[in-house]
Each structure stands twice: as structure tokens, then as C-alpha cells.
């Protein structure tokens, strides 16, 4: 049994590593729909704007999906203002 584990330990390690890399690599392809302005935004570049909005509006960090509808609307209004488009 020990030769079995010696032969397959590297395979298991590579599988775990590959799974981690592939699962995080897709994050840039996530698109978020803005129902107030009827358009889509890719979240990877959008996350920088979102962090800036949280800072500028003195909000604690929270996953965008967990924000209430009023906060989401406030973000999209801020995002589509002339200074942030």
C-alpha cells in the first residue's frame, strides 16, 4: 500500500492545485447585470470601482450580492455618474 501512495501522492497534489487554479481563473468572466441602467459589467474591473464606492461613502466592506437593494441602487447611480464611468 505504501508504493500506491508514493505513486499517486503527486497526482493528487497536482489535481488539487489545478482545481484551485482553474476555479479562481474564471472570476474575471463574471458579469453583473445592472437592472437600473440595463447593462452588464464584468466584475473583475468593477471590483475596483466597488471598493472605491465603499470608501467614498464610508460603508463597511460587504460582498455586493449581500447588499440591500437601496445600497445596490446607490452604487449603480454612483458608478454611472460622469466621474466614474
pLDDT at residue 10 greater than cutoff 90: no
Three-class SS of residue 62? coil
Domain boundaries, position 44: 2-84
Eight-state DSSP code of residue 28: G
Give the model's pLDDT for residue 29: 79
pLDDT grade for 66, boundaries at 50, 70 and 90: very high
Number of domains the chain is built from: 1
- Beta partners for 40? 33
pLDDT digits (tens, 9 = 90+) for 12-48: 655 665 555 555 555 557 889 999 999 998 988 888 9
- 10 Å Cβ neighbour count for 49? 15
Alpha-carbon distance of 16 to 83, in angstroms, equals 43
pLDDT grade for 52, boundaries at 50, 70 and 90: very high
Query: Which cell is 36 given?
Result: 437600473
Amino acid at each position: 500500500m505504501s508504493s500506491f501512495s508514493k505513486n499517486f501522492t503527486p497526482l493528487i497534489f497536482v489535481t488539487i492545485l489545478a482545481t484551485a487554479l482553474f476555479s479562481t481563473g474564471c472570476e474575471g468572466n463574471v458579469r453583473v447585470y445592472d437592472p437600473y441602467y440595463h447593462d452588464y459589467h464584468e466584475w473583475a474591473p468593477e471590483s475596483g470601482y466597488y471598493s472605491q464606492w465603499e470608501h467614498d461613502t464610508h460603508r463597511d466592506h460587504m460582498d455586493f450580492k449581500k447588499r440591500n437593494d437601496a445600497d445596490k441602487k446607490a452604487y449603480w447611480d454612483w458608478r454611472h455618474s460622469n466621474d466614474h464611468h
